[in-house]
Amino acid sequence: MRNQWYGDHRDLVKWGALVELASKHELRSILYVAYLRPDKDVPLIESELGKVEIEAKVLRHFRNVHLVTALMASVSLEIKIFDWQFEAPIREEYISQVVEFVRANDREPLIIFLDPDTGISNNRASSAHVTPKDVTSIWSNMQPKDWMVLYQHASREIGWIEKRRTAFQDACKGGRVLQFCSPNSARDVVLFAASRSNPAL
């Protein structure tokens, strides 16, 4: 995830699905694992006065994943953001820190939302991906009523949804997987969700 993408139509799908899942299964907490990465480009403004980058305070107001915590009061959810900067070389340390939080004994059931740039990859995983090993490491330390949700962006291959869904399901050790999408808003995005306890819908 990059701050520059916060608040777009895909975020409406992401957080709409998360709020629905939390409501349906009476969950009150979300751990947002943002896989946060630096923005690629700072927008420019050009005029007769010259060319300047947009003021940093303006960027922080409109492009800031932390703003999602403003949802908490209106939807009765606690949203905790794991906002370490992520790059592939620190993957192991990154996941170990997420697992440390997930293993806490004094917490209530929660949704662990993994939000990489692209989704899950079985092949050469870049900084834009989670790996099946990432998912399994977290899944293995989840509590019985926890849910895991993964953001998945479209790829160019045929059957990408089923392929990625299968990879996620295998990494969750065969846990039942639900799929959220929005055909009229963000057709290039799906979210996969799995629960340790596989509750009935």
Domain boundaries, the chain: 3-195
The pLDDT tens digits of the residues spanning 140-186 come to 999 989 999 999 988 878 888 899 999 999 999 877 899 998 877 66
Q: What is the DSSP letter of 37?
A: B
Q: What is the pLDDT of residues 44-92, one digit of tens each?
A: 788 787 888 877 787 777 777 888 888 777 888 999 999 899 999 999 9
What is the distance between the alpha carbons of residues 168 and 165, in angstroms, rounded to a whole number? 5
Find out whether 64 and 1 touch, Cβ atoms under 8 Å: no
> What is the pLDDT at residue 56?
78
Question: What count of Cα atoms within 13 Å lies in the side-chain half-sphere of residue 2?
Answer: 15
> What kind of fold does domain 3-195 have according to CATH?
Rossmann fold (3.40.50)
Percent of the chain having pLDDT more than 70? 92
pLDDT value for 48: 82
For the chain, what is the mean pLDDT?
85
pLDDT value of position 8 = 63
The continuous run of DSSP H or E covering 153 comes out as: strand 147-153
Q: What amino acid occupies position 123?
A: N
Phi and psi at residue 131, in whole multiples of 5°?
A: -110, 160
Closest residue by Cα to residue 10 from 185, 171, 197, 199: 185
Q: Band of the pLDDT at 11, cuts 50, 70, 90? A: confident
